[in-house]
Chain A
């Protein structure tokens, strides 16, 4: 191997991916905000703020009617939550990542010891596998999963796997592993605005919008 890919992945490709991500997310966010809203003429029957809080709460803890869908699949459902917790532990608290965030944001926070990050990465990887199995095993989820959902799972799996391999320095020269990791991350940056992975932003926007709407109606 020569190191050309290493330089590409750390240099031009990284810059391109970040700019594409920002451009894409800027587009999607403003598109959502400016698509035009219907005026709500109905008198408010509840509080918008309470609605917002409840909307977020219902995401963490499914309401009565929805629990039926989750029956017998507790592990699978929890795997989603666990995945997010574990993945964010890795993304936000791995020492190298902390330095990168610090450089971008201009301020820094403490990092976690490597073994803890390592375990978090392992948990995130396993929970992704559990989710994948659930996609196949649960009839409802099977019906709602599309090629896109499989791609999403796969593309999230890659940066975690390559990062974990890099840390453990498995089989290949360190630079090669880091190249794979960087490429996987860059791909996800590009993929995010193009796919449902933009839910990392929409999740908040839509919960606020729905919270306000249904909160006012008093139906949440």
Chain B
């Protein structure tokens, strides 16, 4: 089988261009400069790893995000040279033909392809809520994962169940990692994830043939190593205790911290504050909107979007306050009851004592 380097040469790339590309790629993968040699060596010695991209319960927003990558170089590399061999949304082929193609790749490259999963997998009622060509998502995923080198779950849905998993979760939606247990699953959450993070993570696995360093939720540390809060340009205001209290007050106009308006930056690990969206133009906090914590599991149920991160869900709602009042009064009633009982017993005992005496 031809190595990536050989294939690139065949397509007319010069050695010089190849080395340039490897340098850019190393930086894009979030690796240190000293790792260029490793990237070059990998491309010179390893064949390309095809990518199979499955979509389950999703909105295709992650794929949309991917096509907006401001790193056209890497995207081109991924699609043309590393090759995404099967992608339900971006693929020209459809129906039976596409399925056959997928099966062919799975056989031909057994143990050597990268499986990308976008969208959550329904588990309720035998998984009937999402079927592709007559097979449930669970079946599709298990079959495709069996011979995959690694699985990359894209988006919060693919990683943790995401929005379909939000209350009341009618389909029993889960992320790929809950189904695939015998294989490493890299999670690239976000709603959607940053395009650069998608391309770089897939490229890392497909080019180097190994997984990037992961955090405790299976996310690449290079992109999910810091919280939004850690890198937020409004952080000095947070430290000074200067908060926007409403959307159009002085604080909001002056760009003060959005914590009190519900910013989830402190609990959200993602690269938005550094890489930024739309070709590095901005990210929500820079555009005056708090972070909603989209790359964390259960972000939708965890808090109301505009409730501060410190609020336990449901804090202060009317039903809760009634329960709280009831608990206090119930405690009081129990106390009064037992105090009365005690005093009656005392009286009785006193009377009994008199009689006996």
* B7-15, B86-94, B198-206, B312-320 - interface stretch: B312-320
A113 adjacent to B297 (CB under 8 Å): no
How far is it, in angstroms, between the C-alpha of A103 and the C-alpha of B240 when the chains are bound?
A: 22
Interface string of B327-339 (1 = CB under 8 A from A): 1111111111011
A26 adjacent to B241 (CB under 8 Å): no
Residue B308 lies at the interface, judged by CB distance under 8 Å to chain A: yes
**B267, B269, B323: the one within 8 Å of A178 (CB):** B267
Interface string of B171-203 (1 = CB under 8 A from A): 000000000000000000000000000000000
Find residues 92-138 in chain A having any chain B CB closer than 8 Å to their own CB: 95-97, 99-100, 103-104, 106, 111-116
**B267, B296, B330, B340: the one within 8 Å of A23 (CB):** B330
A26 adjacent to B310 (CB under 8 Å): no
B267 adjacent to A26 (CB under 8 Å): no
Interface string of B292-308 (1 = CB under 8 A from A): 00001110001000011
Q: How many residues of A contact B (CB 8 A)?
A: 43
How far is it, in angstroms, between the C-alpha of A174 and the C-alpha of B295 when the chains are bound?
A: 14
How far is it, in angstroms, between the C-alpha of A128 and the C-alpha of B346 when the chains are bound?
A: 43
Find residues 44-61 in chain B having any chain A CB closer than 8 Å to their own CB: none
Residue A25 lies at the interface, judged by CB distance under 8 Å to chain B: yes
A31 adjacent to B330 (CB under 8 Å): no
**A22, A34, A100, A113: the one within 8 Å of B241 (CB):** A113
User: For A14, A26, A104, which residue has the most chain B Cβ atoms within 10 angstroms?
Assistant: A26
Residue B97 lies at the interface, judged by CB distance under 8 Å to chain A: no
Prevailing SS type, chain A contact patch: helix
Nearest CB on B from A67, distance (A)? 37
How far is it, in angstroms, between the C-alpha of A3 and the C-alpha of B218 when the chains are bound?
A: 13
Residue B113 lies at the interface, judged by CB distance under 8 Å to chain A: no
A103 adjacent to B311 (CB under 8 Å): yes
Residue B239 lies at the interface, judged by CB distance under 8 Å to chain A: yes
| B309 contacts across to A, CB distance below 8 A | 96
Q: How many residues of B contact A (CB 8 A)?
A: 49
B335 adjacent to A111 (CB under 8 Å): no
A26 adjacent to B312 (CB under 8 Å): no
B298 adjacent to A104 (CB under 8 Å): no
Residue A195 lies at the interface, judged by CB distance under 8 Å to chain B: no
| B342 contacts across to A, CB distance below 8 A | 35
**A97, A115, A173: the one within 8 Å of B239 (CB):** A115
B313 adjacent to A175 (CB under 8 Å): no
Closest A-chain residue to B324, C-beta based?
A22
How far is it, in angstroms, between the C-alpha of A116 and the C-alpha of B296 when the chains are bound?
A: 30
11 contacts between A and B (CB under 8 A): A3-B297, A3-B298, A11-B314, A14-B312, A30-B339, A100-B310, A103-B311, A112-B241, A114-B238, A173-B269, A174-B267
Interface residues of chain A, those whose CB is within 8 Å of chain B, are 1, 3, 7, 10-11, 14-15, 18-20, 22-31, 34-36, 95-97, 99-100, 103-104, 106, 111-116, 169, 173-175, 178, 182
Interface residues of chain B, those whose CB is within 8 Å of chain A, are 215-217, 227, 230, 238-241, 243, 259-260, 266-267, 269, 296-298, 302, 307-316, 320-321, 323-325, 327-336, 338-340, 342-343
